[in-house]
Amino acid sequence: MNISKLIFFPIQADKSINYELLLKTLIDSKFINDDKQHVNQYLPGDNFLSLITFLGCSPNINLQPFEGENHCFISVIKQTSEPECLGYTQTVNPKCPVCKKRISDWKNPGWQKTGQLCHCDKCQNQTLYSELNWKHESGFARCGFEISHIYPHEAVPTDQLLNILSGFSGFEWNYCYTTN
């Protein structure tokens, strides 16, 4: 079964990061706990709920592991040499960055692969899939990190968290959801 996730990545798809510095930053800001549960599985830290806003009345997710139940954990994404699709939701429908309109029939075979072009049926421009406006329903990057067991639009990052990420890396960050 696929796990739904909230994924963070640099806005500019070709950027790379220093993962040691990322982990130190997330631990220092208490977004994650510094003792790993398993390889590359960090539990939410004491400030997790002040850096992520859950939009429902109460988060429907365990922040600590309970026997036989799903729980939130944070993992870093293995860095790749080229931007790759990090995931997508069932309702994904990108907008063209040139004319700003939604693109019909955007889903060509191989759209998740690096360097593929998408043709806009409204303005006829060709754009790299990684450069489309995905409205947080997908994202392309070489690196990043993800929170498991967050449903699409169930939670959003605070400005404070995005500022922490741009502060350590020197560039702006984006986020998206995936159910795939």
Q: Is 147 left (phi over 0), alpha (psi -120 to 50) or beta?
A: beta
Of the pair 137, 146, the CB lying nearest Zn ion is at 137
Residues 66-105 that bind Zn ion (CB under 5 A): 96, 98-99
Tokens standing for 94? 């990108």
For residues 116 and 128, is the Cβ–Cβ distance under 8 A? Answer: yes
Of the pair 3, 99, the CB lying nearest Zn ion is at 99
Residue 120: CB minimum distance to Zn ion, A = 3
- By CB under 5 A, tell whether 122 contacts Zn ion: yes
Angle between the 159-169 and 19-28 helix axes, to the nearest 10 degrees? 140
Residue 123: CB minimum distance to Zn ion, A = 3
Residue of the chain from 53, 69, 123, 171 that contacts Zn ion (CB under 5 A): 123
Number of residues near Zn ion (by CB under 5 A): 6
Q: Is 174 left (phi over 0), alpha (psi -120 to 50) or beta?
A: beta
Residue of the chain from 120, 132, 150, 161 that contacts Zn ion (CB under 5 A): 120
Q: Is 70 left (phi over 0), alpha (psi -120 to 50) or beta?
A: beta
The residue ranges that bind Zn ion (CB under 5 A) are: 96, 98-99, 120, 122-123
